[in-house]
Structure 1
C-alpha cells in the first residue's frame, strides 16, 4: 500500500516527495473533492495525507470520506507553517474525554 499527499502548498509536497511519497497540490474545494475521489478509487493507496488546512476549511468533504470508507486511512498533517492547534491540545482533549483536569 502506498501513501499519497494532497497538499495546499508546494513545500510540503516537495518534502514528502523526498521521502518517496507522491502527491498533488490543490487550492480549491472542487479540486480537493476531485483529487480525493481519484485517490480513494486507486486501490494501491492505503493512506491519504492531507494538510490540516483542508480539515479546517472543508470538513464536510474530509469527514464524508472518513465516515463512509474504511480504506484508505486519511491523516491530517501540519504543513510548513506548523499546526493550527493550541499548544496544549492533547491535554485539553484528555480533560474533555475523562472529565478531569490534569
Structure 2
C-alpha cells in the first residue's frame, strides 16, 4: 500500500489530478461509487479521498468494506458545493477508527 486516489465528481477529480494525484475515478451515481471503492480496495491504495456527498450516499458500503481496519485511510472532503452536515462527525469516526479512542468535547 503506497498510493493516493480520489473518488468524486469530474471537477473534484480533475482538481486533484492537476495537483498531482495520479489515480482518480469520476463517478456519477451510487453504484459507480461502490464499484470505484471496491476497485481501489482491491488495488491496495493506502489513502482514498472521497467527496462527502458521495460517501454519505454509500456509507453502509464503506462501513461494511472497511470495518475497523486502519488502512486504507478514507478521507472525506467537501465538493465544489461545500461540506455536508456531518463533516465533523466523520472526522471523529476516522479518529476513532485509526487510534481506537472516541474524541469527546
Structure 2 residue aligned with 1:49:
49
CA RMSD of aligned residues (A): 2.5
Structure 1 contact 54–62 (Cα < 8 Å) conserved: no
Structure 2 contact 48–73 (Cα < 8 Å) conserved: yes
Q: Deviations over 1:42-100 (max 9, x none)?
A: 13x210011001222221012223315332111111111111138xx58xx8xx934xx
State the TM-score, normalized to the length of structure 2.
Answer: 0.72
- Equivalent residue pairs, number: 91
Which structure is larger by alpha-carbon Rg, 1 or 2?
1
User: Unaligned regions of 5+ residues in structure 2, if any?
Assistant: 93-102
User: Unaligned regions of 5+ residues in structure 1, if any?
Assistant: none
State the TM-score, normalized to the length of structure 1.
Answer: 0.74
